[in-house]
Amino acid sequence: MRAIALVDCNNFYVSCERLFQPKLEGKPVVVLSNNDGCVVSRSQEVKDLGIKMAVPWFQMKDLAKRHGIIALSSNYTLYADISNRVMRLLSQCSPDQEIYSIDESFLDLTGMDGMNSLTEYAQSIRSTIKQCVGIPVCVGIAPSKTLAKLANHVAKKQKQYHSVCDFNAMTARVLDNLLAKIEVSEVWGVGRRSTSRLQGMSIGSVLDLKRSSAKRVRAEFGVVMERIVAELNGVACLELDDVTPPRQQIICSRSFGISVSLLVDLEQAVIAYTTRAAEKLRSQHSLAGGIQVYIRTNPHKDKAPQYQPAMLIPLFEPTDDTRLLCHAALSGLQQIYRSGYMYQKAGVMLTEIIAAAARPRTLFEDVAAQQKSAALMTTLDQINRRMGSGTLQLLGEGVRKSWSMRRGNMSQRYTTEWDELAAAR
């Protein structure tokens, strides 16, 4: 039988922080989103207090004080590096791996149950990762990705499985009894809207959805939900994507630490974000044919005047040159900017992305200029990679950066910066 495993790190960001600050072990800890806005990772102690994902931090400050919850700003440099280490180990556990997110990976384990059961194999994967990187993970195994997700959910929630749950090792009856006790909202791809509509159709549990009529589901919800039902019945519709395709759009946007109203501040932010987006574009060897720029007032302040314009600037020809992209983004910003508003966020989106190798030839192309641009961008990226991001930047990004985000309590970048390494005290 097909055996797809989903390996998922437990409370990933909190677990990364605990690696280098063992004093956080056993304490209630949360990691906050950019600008220390919302809770994005919770330790088990915090989950047990009933605190939900994505709760705004300011709403739970009182509760946090009462229970001594420790809140850390997010340290994505650290998390990305730890993730890479986990993923590299997992790649050795199966010939077929899909890295699904920063803390999750699918593995195809079909036919790998030789001498031992897959449960034992999954346990050995767990202990390898714990021993080599220090991150705790759970493993779910099933004949489809959607079921593997659910098996992982069971492995996490029900202690008797000891962090590994293999649906393939169960009889159909046992599995259905299990699925009958899980709410339909836990299914991968069933969000808030679909949950309430399904409940209106008396489909409340995973088993209800599994047994529902494919035709009816197709008519009511479309092809996506129809596939989910098939996957719940053990028919794999979603294959493992082992090569990540290049992004079709690249977004860089951020809320400001404080609201800004001046064009000059917005210009700095837009240059900074375009610079980041262009770096991502070059790292996947692509060119962008257009760039969209947008700015936004704070939608939560309903008494303040609201304004959220956007503008797409087509480029004369596809490019990956930070200077050309910034020039286009700034011209868009200048057209949509109005004074008198308090802006809370800005962003840019690169669109019409093509492979650099597929650059279209034009009558007007200036090959010498293209070569100079490529050499400059390569040098820029090399210096910033070696000396640290932002070592070399466009002057227009500014130095003072009054708009930059709040990060009140960030840990060191223990594994990627020489002067921030963990040290014995």
Longest CA–CA separation in the chain, Å: 71
Q: Give the shortest CB-120-to-DNA separation in angstroms.
A: 26
**Is residue 162 part of the contact set for DNA (CB under 7 A)?**
no
Helices marked H in 158-262 — which ranges?
Answer: 172-180, 192-200, 206-210, 214-221, 223-232
Residues between 218 and 237 that touch DNA (CB under 7 A): 222-224
Hey, what are 178's tokens?
A: 């299990």
The rounded Cα 424 to chain-centroid distance in angstroms is: 32
Among 52, 65, 159, 192, binds DNA (CB under 7 A): 192
| In 164-275, beta strands by DSSP E | 164-166, 250-260
Hey, what are 383's tokens?
A: 């210096």
Within 8 A by CB and 6+ apart from 276, the residues are: 252
Among 188, 307, 374, 393, binds DNA (CB under 7 A): 188
SS3 call for 381: helix
* DSSP string for residues in 136-168: -EEEEEESSHHHHHHHHHHHHH-GGGTTEEEGG
Among 17, 103, 113, 279, binds DNA (CB under 7 A): 103
Nearer to DNA, 117 or 253 (CB): 253
C-alpha dihedral (68, 74, 75, 77), degrees to nearest 10: 150
**Is residue 268 part of the contact set for DNA (CB under 7 A)?**
no
- Binding mask 281-310 toward DNA (x if CB under 7 A, else -) reads -----------------x-xx---------
Which of 254, 274, 273 has the alpha carbon at shortest distance from 37? 254
**Is residue 323 part of the contact set for DNA (CB under 7 A)?**
no
In whole angstroms, how far apart are CA 355 and each of 173, 182, 352? 50, 44, 10
**Is residue 102 part of the contact set for DNA (CB under 7 A)?**
yes
In whole angstroms, how far apart are CA 53 and each of 40, 86, 188? 6, 24, 16
Among 84, 91, 195, 308, binds DNA (CB under 7 A): 195
Among 10, 19, 38, 233, binds DNA (CB under 7 A): 38
Nearer to DNA, 38 or 87 (CB): 38
Nearer to DNA, 87 or 102 (CB): 102
**Is residue 238 part of the contact set for DNA (CB under 7 A)?**
no
- Residues 41 and 67: their CA atoms lie apart, in Å, by 17
Nearer to DNA, 22 or 191 (CB): 191
**Is residue 255 part of the contact set for DNA (CB under 7 A)?**
yes
Q: Give the shortest CB-29-to-DNA separation in angstroms.
A: 17
380 near 45, Cβ under 8 Å?
Answer: no
Q: Which residue, chain included where needed, has tokens 């098939």?
A: 230
Q: Give the shortest CB-241-to-DNA separation in angstroms.
A: 9
**Is residue 58 part of the contact set for DNA (CB under 7 A)?**
yes
**Is residue 215 part of the contact set for DNA (CB under 7 A)?**
no
Among 88, 157, 162, 247, binds DNA (CB under 7 A): 247
Among 11, 15, 35, 297, binds DNA (CB under 7 A): 35
Q: Quote the DSSP letter at residue 18.
A: H
At 164, give phi and psi (nearest 5°).
-135, 125
Among 33, 119, 128, 404, binds DNA (CB under 7 A): 33
Among 275, 319, 344, 415, binds DNA (CB under 7 A): 344
Among 125, 252, 324, 326, binds DNA (CB under 7 A): 252
Nearer to DNA, 121 or 138 (CB): 138
**Is residue 402 part of the contact set for DNA (CB under 7 A)?**
no
C-alpha dihedral (315, 320, 325, 326), degrees to nearest 10: -170
- Residues 188 and 81: their CA atoms lie apart, in Å, by 27
Q: Give the shortest CB-141-to-DNA separation in angstroms.
A: 16
Interface with DNA: number of residues (CB under 7 A): 46
SS3 call for 229: helix
Residues that bind DNA (CB under 7 A): 33-35, 37-38, 40, 54, 56, 58, 100-104, 149, 187-195, 222-224, 247-255, 259, 276, 280, 298, 300-301, 344-345, 347, 405
